[in-house]
Structure 1
Amino acid sequence: MIDIRPATEDDFTAITAIYAWNVAHGTGTFALEAPPESEMLAGFHAVQKLRLPYLVAEEDGKVLGYAYAAPFRTRPAYKYVVEDSIYLAPEATGRGIGKALLLKLMELCTKRGLYSMIAVIGDSENLASIGVHKACGFDYTGSLPRAGFKFDRWLDVVFMTCDLLPYTPDPQGAGWDG
């Protein structure tokens, strides 16, 4: 059984390895070199400082994937909007784990009073990620053609958005900065 739970510092050897695999083999990230665990932990602490969710999917004590929400942009006007990131170990793909992580992330961000989530998907051919986001209620909102170059080819970036809360002229709550 898959357990979706908050990440801890103890998960970062596995999280770093999952991201490194995705950097080396995938186009979901445009990173060309995997960062060290210390850099991954610094990102985790930045997300924690904003009280945003950072989750892992675990089965039988093994981390199979992770997801987190972070500010889409850091200027204060964006404080009600987050961007999701989801990465899976290769053996975890096609099992519904990415969808489970995304749904839990959306639930926690909605409870936090965030109004919108944006998916910035590397590679317009990343049909699995596009499909998971669509299945979770995201709408296609645009793309940036040839935004990156990796594995000897140009890659597009796909943008998808999902409303977490109904829009109001006067949003309530502090957003991710309060």
Structure 2
Amino acid sequence: MLEEEYEPRRLAKPFHLRRIDPPEPTFSYEIRAATAKDLPAVRQIYDHYVTNTMVTLDTERRSLRTWRSKYAYLARLGLPFLVAVSPSGQVLGYALAEPWIQKRAYRFTAEESIYLRPASTGKGLGKALLTALMEAGKQAGLKQLLAVVADSGADASLALHRSLGFTETGRMGKVAYKFDRWIGTVMLQRSLK
């Protein structure tokens, strides 16, 4: 073939590489009753909030012995203590209900606590745990569930409780002192009937 008879080849449009990100790993968990083996992880989660936030008004870390005692006490009373665990068994968070006041007349009312590992926040786990705790509390015979939430630094907790039907029943100003500042509390209540 002569050069002048040669038809130039058409070049394909330039190929542009597109960056394809791998899919995000799914956030999965199972909610179940806590066991004594979960308590070191529960303690670790709680200690983070004691030392770094005003979400809890505790100023001292709790010992493993204290957690074991609380676990046994709640079990004797038949009150729920739940954990959320990853497929690998890591405790991602916990929720529990404990007597609000140590008087028999208050036996159908409990105060709830819910704490998540920091990497597990913002993914719907708090709502799932609190929903499961409300159901477990109802099955345990509770009629009212209370939450006492710090009035600063706990906006996500307040929003979570309100989204699940908790209503504000009171406020106390400057009742706790932590990290060199005064903190108030917000009381929320939810009927389990």
Is the TM value for this pair above 0.5? Answer: yes
Cα displacement string for residues 81-125 of structure 1 (whole angstroms, at most 9, x for unaligned residues):
111001111111111111111100100111222111011112344
Q: Match for 2:146: what amino acid?
A: I
2:44 corresponds to which residue?
A: 17
Aligned to 1:114, which of 137, 142, 158?
142
Cα displacement string for residues 52-99 of structure 1 (whole angstroms, at most 9, x for unaligned residues):
100001112110111100111110110111110011111111111111
2:30 corresponds to which residue?
A: 3
> Taking CA–CA contacts closer than 8 Å with sequence separation of 6 or more, which of the two structures ends up with the larger relative contact order?
1
**Count of aligned positions:** 165
Aligned to 1:131, which of 137, 156, 159?
159
Instruction: Work out the CA distance in 2 between the residues paired with 1:28 and 1:50.
Output: 26
2:100 corresponds to which residue?
A: 72
1:26 corresponds to which residue?
A: 53
1:105 corresponds to which residue?
A: 133
Q: Which moved more, 1:38-47 or 1:120-129?
A: 120-129
Instruction: Work out the CA distance in 1 between the residues paired with 2:50 and 2:32.
Output: 24
User: Contact 2:80–2:140 (CA<8 Å) still a contact in 1?
Assistant: no
Deviation at 1:24, TM superposition (A): 0.7
Instruction: Work out the CA distance in 1 between the residues paired with 2:141 and 2:37.
Output: 28
1:42 corresponds to which residue?
A: 69
User: Contact 1:27–1:123 (CA<8 Å) still a contact in 2?
Assistant: no
Q: Match for 1:9: what amino acid?
A: A
Deviation at 1:27, TM superposition (A): 1.1
SS at match of 1:157: strand
Of structures 1 and 2, the larger Rg is shown by 2
User: Contact 1:144–1:157 (CA<8 Å) still a contact in 2?
Assistant: yes
SS at match of 1:29: coil
Instruction: List aligned pairs for 1:78-93, cutoff 5 A.
Output: 78-93=106-121
Instruction: Work out the CA distance in 2 between the residues paired with 1:73 and 1:38.
Output: 22
Identical aligned residues as a percent: 39
Q: Match for 2:90: what amino acid?
A: K
